[in-house]
Amino acid sequence: MEKHSLFKKFVMLFVLSIILFILSNCNKKSINLNKSNNTTATIDLKATNNNTIKLNGPWEFYWNKLLYPNDFNDNISHDSLVDFPFLWNNYKLKNKTFNNYGYATFRTTIKNINKNEIYTIQVKNISTAYRLFINGKLILSNGRVANNREKMIPKSYLKSADYYANDNNLELILQVSNFYHFRGGIFDPLVFGKSDVVKKLISKHLILDTFLFSSFLMIALYNLALYLFRKSDKATLYFSILCFLISLRSIMTGQYLLVQIFPTISWELQHKIEVLTIYFSFPIFLLYFKSIYSNSIGKKFLQFIVIISIMFSIIVIVTKCSTYGYFLLYYQALLAISTLYIIYCLIRIYLKNGIRSSYTVFGIVVLLITIINDVLMANSIIDTGYFTPFGLLIFIFSQGLMISAIFSKRFSKIEKQYKKQVKIIKENLTKYSNLLNNAGQGFLSFNKDLIIDNEYSKECIRIFNYEINTMKFTNLISTDKDEKIFLKSVIDDVFKASDEYNENLYLSLLPSEIDINNKTIAIKYKVIHSSINSNKKIMVILTDITDKRKLENEMEKERKILKTVVKVYSNKKIFIECLNEFKNFYRNDLNTIIKSEIEIKDLIYNIYIKIHTFKGNFSQFNLPNIVDNLHEIETKLSEIEKLMEQGAYSKSKFISFITSINYEELLDKDVNIINKHLGEDFFNDEDLIHISKQKLIDIEEKIVSYFPFDESKHIVNELRKLRYVPIKSMLESYPYYLEKLSKRLNKKIKPVKIYGDNFLINPDIYTDFIKSLIHVFRNSVDHGIEPPDVRLKMNKDESGNIKCLIKRIKNKIIISISDDGKGIDIIKLKNYLIDNNIFSSSEIQNFSKSELISCIFNKNTTTVENTTTISGRGIGLNAVKQELEKLNGHFNIYTETNLGTKFEFIIPYKQELLSEQLNITSIMKPLIKSVNKYCKNELEKQTHKFDSKKIKKAEKVDLYELSAFINISGLLHGKFILSIEKKLVKSIVNKLFNDDINKYNEKAIFEDFLGETANIILGNCLDDFDNLVNMIRISSPVTLFSKRSTIKYPFIDCWIYNISLNKGNIKLIITSSQNKFYNN
C-alpha cells in the first residue's frame, strides 16, 4: 500500500512540475518592441558564448515589400523591429492590422562573427516561401516568393546552407510571402552557428527523428501483428494505427524527413497529411483508450469525437489550407476541452484501478503535457520546443508495457484455466469412457472414410474378438463382398444426406441384427453432428442379444416339449393307441407286408402309406423327433421308388433297408421326454392314469416359470384339471358297495343311481368328505331301508330306493342322499338323548323337529339298540359332521316316518384354478364390432347388433361356399373361420371391382378378397381382446372353396355366430383346441 501511495505522490509531483514548466514558459506573446523606425536590427554574437544562436531578433520588418540587398542602398525605413518567431496575423502596429496573406522582408545584421570561418544557417518552418540573402548573396530559398498567390509557390521544410564569412558582420535579408497558410510568418527562429556545430546539431536531430519514426513504425507493426494473431482484441489494432499515424507525423514535422526524401510532394498535400494525422489520431486514441478501459469514457462522447473528426477530415480533404486551416483552431479547442475530460477520466480510472492503471495514466499524462506544450508552442504562446514525439514515445512505451503486462497476466490466467480445464476434461473423459465401457453395449463411431475411431467401448472387443480401430466398418459387420459394397454406398448416402430425414431413410437400410462369432448382435445407428465443425459421424450401438435369443430358443423348445407332454397326457388313450399301432407295425405288420407276394411297387407304396399315417398321427402330439425321423424315412422311400422305376434298386435291397431301421430307437428320444416328465409308469397301464401327483405339480411349476403369467395360467389350469376328478367318479364306487351291503343285510335295494351335475373337483379337498359319506349310505341301507317283507307289508316296493343327487349352484355343491325307508324314529331319539343325559327332558321340549333330528350327527347318538359291524355305534355320522365342518359345510335332514329320510349336505365349491376360462363373449363381441365396421365401409349400410345369446356352441359346423381359416397360435390355440355365402361375396366383389372381374379371374379375386377380409376383421379387433393381443399370433389366411363342407374338430367345441345381411349370411367361427371358452 505504501508503495502505491508513494507512486501516486510521485506521479502527482511529476504532473505538477510539468504544468509549472509550461506556465513558466508561457510569456512571450506580443511583447514585440515598438522601436524607432530608424534603428537597424543587429544581433551581437559576442553576447552568446554558444557556438550556435537562434536568430530570434531583433529583425527589421518591411511589410508588403520584397526588398533585395540593393534596395537597402536607398534609405528605406522599416515598419518595426520584431522578434522571431513572428506571425503577422495577430500583429498590430499603429492600429494597423496585418492580413494573413501578404509578403514582407526582414533584415538583421549579425555582428562579431569570426572572419574566414564557415558558418551554417538552418531555416526550418517559414510560412510559406522564403529567400535568404547574406551579404547580398542568395544563400537559401524555399518555394517561390512572390507578391501574389498566383506567382508564389509554397514550400516548407527544413533547409540549411553554409556560408563562408569574409567579414565580421553579416547582413541577413529574408523575403517571406504567404498566400496559402492561414498564418503567415516565421514559426521557428533561424539557427546560426559555426558550420560543424550546426551540422552536428542537424544530424543529431535527423538521427533522433529517424529513431522516433522507426520506433513508432516498429511498434505499429508489432501491434498490428499482435492484432492479426488475436483479432478479438481491438486495443492492439487501435494502438497500431495510432503508432502508425504518429510515425507518419514524426517524419512530417521536425526535420521534415518525408519532404526531404520526396521533395516533389506539394506543400498542400504535405500540409493536409500533417493535419489529417491530428484528426485521425485523436479519435483512434480515444477508441484505444476505451478498448482498454471500457467504462472510462462515455460512449456518446466517443461517438461525438469520431463524427467531428470525420467531418473535419472531410473538410481537410476537400478544401484548401486557406479554408480548413481556420477549423484547426476549433479542433484544437475541442482537443483542449476533451483533454480536460480525459484527465478527469484518468483520475477516475486511477482511483478505481490504482497501480494497475499506472502505466496508462503515466503515459497519457506525459503525452497530454507534451501535446499541450506543443499546441501552445505552435501558437507561439510558449517557447519550450516541441516535445510531442518524446511524449508519444514515453506514452507508447508505457502502453507497450501495459499491453505486455495485460498479455502476460492474461496468459498466465489462461494457462491456469487451461490446466484446470485439461484436468476436468481428462476426468470427464475417464468418467465417460468408464460409463461406456461398463454399459455392456458396444459403442463405436466412424467418419466418411468408414474407419472406426479410436474411441470405442470395451464391449466392442468382446463382440469382435479383436481391436477394431483402423478397421473399416463394412468389413467389421459383413464378409460378403456384394453386401459390403451395398453397405458402403448406403453409408455414403447417409453422409451425403442434407437433412435428418434422408439420414434416417438411408440408415434404416443398414442391418439391424447380425450374427458374428456365434453371437447375435443387435445394431442401432445414429448420426452425430459435431457441434464444432460440420463433420458428421455415425455412432453405432451394438448390443449382444445372444443370451436373450438363446434363452428365447430354449424357452421355445421347452415350451414345445411341455405342450407335447400336456397333449400326450390329456390324450393318453389315443397316444398309447398310436404308439401300440406303430409298435405293432414294426414288430408284426411289417414282416407280413414284406412276406406278402405283392409287387414291389405296391409294397413300397403300402409301407409309405403306413409311415405317412404314423407321421400324421404322431405330429398331432407335436412329438419333436419321431415325426422328423419318419419324415426322413418317407423321403428315402420316395427316392427309392424313383430309383426302382429306373431299375436301380432291387427288392431285396429295399427289404434289407426297411428291416434294418431300428424303429425302437426312432421313438426313444420322444418316449424319454415323456418318461422324464410323466414318469416311467405312464406307459405301463393303458387305461388308468398312473402318474404321481408330484410329477404333475412339477410340470405345473415348470410351466409357471417358463411361460408368461397370462399364458401359463391357462395351461396350468388345464393341468390342474387333470389332477381334478369328476365328482361323480368319486362317488361311483358306492353303488357297487351298497349292493353288496344290502345283500349281506338281507335287504333289497334298487341299483343306487347318482344323478345331477358332474363337474371337476380337487380330490385333495373333497376326498375325505366324500369317503365319510359311506356312513350316510350305510345308515340308509342298514337303518333306513326296511327288510323286504316289512316293505311289502307297508305296500312299498320290496326293493328300497336310495338316490344320490349332486347339484352345483354357483359356488355351492349340494349332495343329497335320500332313501324311501322308515324314517328316523324321533321318539326313540328323544328317549336316547334323555336317557344318556345328553339333554334334559325339559330342554328337549324346546327343540324343533329338525333340531332334534340333527342330533343324530352328534357323537355317540344312535337310535339303534344293537350295534353291528356296519353301523349303530353313533360314530359314523359324527365323522361325516366333522369332515363337513372342515369344509365349512352344513347339512339338512328331512325325515318322514315310513316315507324316508333325506340328507342334504351343502359345501362350498373350491376350484383352486388360476382363473376362469375365457368368456367367448369377450372374443366374439369385438369380432362382431369389427365385422360391423367392415360392413359399414364395404357393404350396404347395414349393421348387426351383437347379442351374446346368439353365440352357439357346436361340435361341428356347416360352412358356406367360401371360407377363410386363420390359425391363432399362442394362448388362444385355435382357429378363426370366416365363412361367407357366395352370393354375398359376389355382390361385394362386384361392387368393389365391377369392371375388372370376369370368369377367369373371379376365383383369384374371391380368394384375394376373402383372405384380406378375414385378415382385416381379425386384425382390427385384436386390440379389443382384453390382454390377449400380446399372447396370440395369427397366421395368414387359408381360403377354402367348396359347395358343401362341414368342419369338425374332435373334442373341440366350435363357437359360432351367424350374421344375416340382406345379401347373404356370414358365419364367424372360433375354436380353441383346449376348449378354453365358456359362455354365461
Partner 1 sequence: MANILIVDDSMMMRRNLRLIMEESGHNVVAEASNGKQAFFAYATHIPDLVTLDISMPGEDGISTVKRIISKFPDAKIIMITALQQKQMVYKSLKNGAKNYIVKPIQPQKVLDTIEEVLKK
Residues that bind partner 1 (CB under 8 A): 486, 489-490, 493, 501, 505-506, 509, 937, 992-993, 996, 1005, 1008-1009, 1011-1012, 1016
CB 927, min distance to partner 1, A: 19
CB 484, min distance to partner 1, A: 12
Q: How far, in Å, CA of 55 to CA of 228, rounded?
A: 50
Task: Please say whether the beta carbons of 724 and 763 come within 8 A.
Answer: yes
For 611, how many CA atoms within 13 A lie in the half-sphere containing its CB?
A: 25
Select from 539, 389, 390 the least CA-distant residue to 457.
539
Q: How far, in Å, CA of 873 to CA of 695, rounded?
A: 41
Residue nearer to partner 1 on the CB measure, 682 or 1009: 1009
Residue nearer to partner 1 on the CB measure, 1008 or 1024: 1008
CB 488, min distance to partner 1, A: 11
Pairing label, strands 918-919, 1077-1078:
parallel
CB 1077, min distance to partner 1, A: 28
Pairing label, strands 802-809, 513-516:
unpaired
CB 513, min distance to partner 1, A: 12
CB 1041, min distance to partner 1, A: 17
The pair phi, psi for residue 722, each rounded to 5°, is: -70, -30
Residue nearer to partner 1 on the CB measure, 481 or 1044: 481
Residue nearer to partner 1 on the CB measure, 865 or 995: 995
CB 973, min distance to partner 1, A: 22
Residue nearer to partner 1 on the CB measure, 835 or 996: 996
Residue nearer to partner 1 on the CB measure, 347 or 509: 509
Q: How far, in Å, CA of 161 to CA of 130, rounded?
A: 14
Residue nearer to partner 1 on the CB measure, 917 or 1039: 1039
975 CB contacts (<8 Å, ≥6 apart)? 965, 966, 967, 968, 1069, 1070, 1071
Q: How far, in Å, CA of 254 to CA of 334, rounded?
A: 25
Q: Which residues pair with 1040 in a beta bridge?
A: 963
Residue nearer to partner 1 on the CB measure, 832 or 1006: 1006
Record the cell numbers describing residue 461, joined without a space: 472387443
- 10 Å Cβ neighbour count for 502? 13
Residue nearer to partner 1 on the CB measure, 229 or 501: 501
Burial class (CB in 10 A: 0-12, 13-18, 19+), 702: middle
CB 1021, min distance to partner 1, A: 15
CB 966, min distance to partner 1, A: 14
Residue nearer to partner 1 on the CB measure, 599 or 995: 995
CB 231, min distance to partner 1, A: 41
* Run of H or E including 699: helix 693-706
Residue nearer to partner 1 on the CB measure, 471 or 1005: 1005
CB 1012, min distance to partner 1, A: 4
Record the cell numbers describing residue 958, joined without a space: 356347416
Residue nearer to partner 1 on the CB measure, 363 or 926: 926
Burial class (CB in 10 A: 0-12, 13-18, 19+), 727: buried
For 814, how many CA atoms within 13 A lie in the half-sphere containing its CB?
A: 13
Question: Is the CA virtual torsion 938, 939, 940, 941 positive or negative?
Answer: negative
* Run of H or E including 412: helix 388-437
Q: Taking CA 194 as the corner, what is the angle to CA 189 and CA 195, rounded to the nearest 5 degrees? A: 95
CB 938, min distance to partner 1, A: 9
CB 483, min distance to partner 1, A: 9
Residue nearer to partner 1 on the CB measure, 489 or 1030: 489
Q: Taking CA 944 as the corner, what is the angle to CA 943 and CA 949, rounded to the nearest 5 degrees? A: 170
Q: How far, in Å, CA of 816 to CA of 753, rounded?
A: 12
Contacts by 706-714, CB closer than 8 A, 24 or more apart? 706/555, 706/558, 706/559, 706/562, 707/559, 708/1031, 710/971, 710/1027, 710/1028, 710/1031, 711/970, 711/971, 711/1031, 712/914, 713/914, 713/915, 714/915, 714/918, 714/971, 714/1074, 714/1076
886 CB contacts (<8 Å, ≥6 apart)? 768, 769
Whether the bond into 908 is cis, omega within 30 of 0: no
Residue nearer to partner 1 on the CB measure, 493 or 904: 493
Residue nearer to partner 1 on the CB measure, 480 or 599: 480
Burial class (CB in 10 A: 0-12, 13-18, 19+), 624: middle
CB 276, min distance to partner 1, A: 59
* Residues making up the chain, counted from first to last: 1080
CB 509, min distance to partner 1, A: 5
Residue nearer to partner 1 on the CB measure, 423 or 991: 991
Task: Please say whether the beta carbons of 517 and 479 come within 8 A.
Answer: no
* Phi-psi group of 119: left, alpha or beta (phi > 0 → left; psi -120 to 50 → alpha; rest → beta): beta
CB 493, min distance to partner 1, A: 8
Select from 73, 169, 166 the least CA-distant residue to 117.
166
The pair phi, psi for residue 6, each rounded to 5°, is: -65, -45
CB 1064, min distance to partner 1, A: 20
Cell 405317412, residue located: 612
Residue nearer to partner 1 on the CB measure, 597 or 996: 996
Whether the bond into 128 is cis, omega within 30 of 0: yes
CB 490, min distance to partner 1, A: 6
Residue nearer to partner 1 on the CB measure, 789 or 1002: 1002
Q: Taking CA 221 as the corner, what is the angle to CA 220 and CA 225, rounded to the nearest 5 degrees? A: 120
